[in-house]
Amino acid sequence: MTKEQIAEPLAKFHARVDSTGRIIIPRHIRSIFNIKAGNFVKVDIRHVSVDLTKKEIHIIKVAHNLTMRVGRAGALTIPKDLREKLLLTPGDLVEVILYDIVRLENDISKRFKYVYSFDARVE
């Protein structure tokens, strides 16, 4: 697999699902990547449960390769049918893996990619 084929996440964060199925991209992640309302993000969403006594994160269900529109204040709305498939209810914890931000400008998609400016291999 070449460097270009490796899908490295830009960010990973945890959020609680609200009563309308929304989760919020944290402010510092929106700031770093200049994510604005109207942008689209490519994400995986995992319904997770944390066991603090055993220090384990249990993955309950996963939805891969979703494209979601960013709303006000960094809100992503998980559609009701997807919430049902992921067994999500208000207050549940999700882990969001952010892979890309898509900004549509003059019908041209501007996408992030990793560029290695040094030899990243460790021998």
CATH of the domain at 98: 2.40.30.100
Query: Is position 86 within any domain?
Result: yes
Query: Is position 1 within any domain?
Result: no
The pTM score is 0.79
pLDDT in tens, 5-20: 556 899 999 999 999 9
Q: Which structural domain range is residue 42 located in?
A: 8-103
Query: Is position 17 within any domain?
Result: yes
Query: What φ, ψ does residue 13 adopt, rounded to 5°?
Result: -150, 165
Distance CA 11, CA 72 (A): 19
Mean pLDDT of 60-85: 95
Residue at 84: amino acid letter: E
Query: Is position 121 within any domain?
Result: no
Query: Is position 111 within any domain?
Result: no
pLDDT in tens, 9-67: 999 999 999 999 999 999 999 999 999 999 999 999 999 999 999 999 999 999 999 99
In contact, 44 and 98? CB cutoff 8 Å? no
